[in-house]
Amino acid sequence: MSATTPDPAPAVRSRSAIRSLLRLWPYVRPVRGRLGWSAVVGAVASCMALLIPLVLKWMVDGPVSDHDPAGVWLGGGLILLLGLLEAGLFGVRRWLVARPLAGVEAAMRADLYRHLQRLPVEFHDRWASGQLLSRATMDLQILRMFLAFPLVFLVVNTVTVVIGFAILFAQSWLLGLVLLAPAVPLMIMCSVFETRYALAARRAQDQAGDLATLVEESVLGIRIIKAFGRHRSQARAFREQTRGLWRTEIRKAKLLSDIWAVIMTLPEVAIGAALMCGVLQVSDGKLSAGTLVAFLSTALALRWPVESIGFLLAMSNESATAADRYFEAMDTPEPEVAGAPDGAGATYQDGLRMTGVRFRYPDAPETGAELLRGVDLHIRPGETMALVGATGSGKTTLTALLPRLHRATGGRITLDGADIAELPVKRLRELLAVAFEEPTLFSATVRENVAMGAGPDGADEADIVRALAVAQCDFVERLPDGLDTQVGEQGLSLSGGQRQRLALARAVVGRPQFLVLDDPLSALDVHTEALVEAALREVLAETTALVVAHRPSTVLLADRVALLEDGRITAVGTHAELLHDSAAYRHLMSGADEPGDTRPTDTPRAPHTPLERSDAR
């Protein structure tokens, strides 16, 4: 198992954090009113803290100098009232944004999930599941925290600093200039920090996605890991990835500590210098003691808004990276949704027809040959066609083109004359059902797993019971809760044969007009296979079907057989005709060492030939 799953997203690149965050506007727009009011309330709350130094100035220059206890008590009461107002307003600010921003996160996650469901299989083949999972969870949490805290406080703290410095300059322009002196070096340091932190933040988030992929693969593949004794190598891979993530997080922490050291040191030095200048001015009679107390109190009240710059910039950069990662997945275009094609309402029956179908995987080298090089095949209405071929001939790929899991790179596939490339997805799913060789079940009940194949209208109890009977799923009656038994993640609480039979039941429950079966009986024993084949004949008699066959017994379910070689259909006919006319077919059916071996094989051999073990793709 691979320790690291590649992420196809672009590498860290130079980008504008503001431009990245502005892409959140469509989601923020519905709650912009609450966000705006939360910023206003936060700014007013911060201004309460700036009024306290003015009260102190009045107290020092008035009641304290005049030895007036009543004035001191009044000033103390005013300071207490301002403190309570500040705390209350910050509570209101949090209430304003908590619920709406949780809704923003939910809406973004729902859009991402919906988009991922609509993207073609090629996208999911390229992207690691852990990378998508980290974008749908961790990155969206980071964005919600940004909207709730850094976004609002960047506005609040900016307003607070502007108003605070206005108060400082009103009290003493000289001391104000002393405090303002560190502004230029701070701006330069923050610019350098922003660039470096953005790179580290992106690397950490990508590494977290890789780690999530490794954990997911290890959990899903735990049987393989244990069976082959690979737990130590997987643990090593886990340690290596966690160590890499740890190093990146330490790098982030170091950058943050550096900027915090600068941001905290320069203002402290400036306040110390202002204190010395202020004391000299008070001793010279140029400044009152109350004014100096108010100035220093205001400067201390501005410490948090100034010192939080590094923290807020770090969160903003991390959020911009999270937005980039989110929109990397969202920017992948969905397949075009077709309208009703010409002839969609036609009543003629043409069956399933492939004309000049070609296909190359997107990641395959352009110089290499196509996997399918011009497939021509016609399955007549009500006919069952078996598709056979050697390992790697493209059988499973061809069946994946029919439900449009992959899009053909050339040629045309029609269902009763309607081009599947133009059919709306909903209509295509109504017409055609698929049972894959590798059955996938979901963490749901047996009933829900089977009914999933019935389409949007669902299936009644009779349909489900019939489908289970066709697939010989009598084992369901022995499950603890029957149809309502939870099968567990990936259906791993069931045997391979049981999972395959449930997948077959899911394919036939909706009585599809077209049915595609990719070696549907490969995991069944001989006796169960015979029972399923007998029941399946009744279903195949009512539909047009393409069956990928690896076993000779499965071939006998079909009316005709198509042989796929070198990306083309090279022979079509009944089983007996192909045995007589095609040496390649005889080779597949007999397990001969050479395709030229022409010994007669009118009766299929027992299912132990190389054909049975051939790969589906």
Dihedral sign for Cα atoms in the order 134, 140, 146, 149: negative
Tens digits of per-residue pLDDT, 31-57? 888 888 888 888 888 888 888 887 877
Average the pLDDT over 50-74 and give the result: 77
Average pLDDT, the chain: 80
Give yes or no for residue 188 having a pLDDT over 80: no
Between 610 and 529, whose confidence is greater?
A: 529
Residues 6+ apart with CB under 8 A from 148: 97, 98, 101
pLDDT score for 523:
64
Residue of 104, 282, 319, 101 lying closest to 205 (CA atoms)? 319
Instruction: Report all structural domains of the chain as residue ranges with CATH numbers, in order of start.
Output: 20-330 (1.20.1560.10), 352-438+513-590 (3.40.50.300)
Tens digits of per-residue pLDDT, 89-107? 888 888 888 788 888 888 9
Name the amino acid, one letter, at 437: E
Beta bridge mates, 546 = 385, 516
Give yes or no for residue 611 having a pLDDT over 60: no
pLDDT score for 15:
57
Give yes or no for residue 613 having a pLDDT over 50: no
How far is Cα 159 from Cα 154, in angstroms, rounded to an integer? 9
CA-angle at 348, arms to 345 and 350, nearest 5°? 110
Give yes or no for residue 138 having a pLDDT over 60: yes
3-state secondary structure of 580: helix
Give pTM, 2 decimals.
0.64
**Region of residue 571 (left: phi > 0; alpha: psi -120 to 50; beta: else):** beta
Average the pLDDT over 466-472 and give the result: 87
- Which string of DSSP letters, residue by residue, matches 465-518? HHHHHHTT-GGGGGSTTGGG-B--GGGTTS-HHHHHHHHHHHHHTT--SEEEEE
Distances (CA, A) of 577 to 319, 449, 544: 66, 40, 21
Tens digits of per-residue pLDDT, 373-416? 899 999 999 899 999 988 888 888 898 899 888 888 899 999 98
Residue of 378, 388, 368 lying closest to 616 (CA atoms)? 388
pLDDT score for 486:
84
Tens digits of per-residue pLDDT, 530-575? 877 887 888 888 889 999 887 787 888 889 999 999 889 999 999 9
- Name the band, by pLDDT with cuts 50, 70 and 90, for residue 490: low
Give yes or no for residue 593 having a pLDDT over 50: no
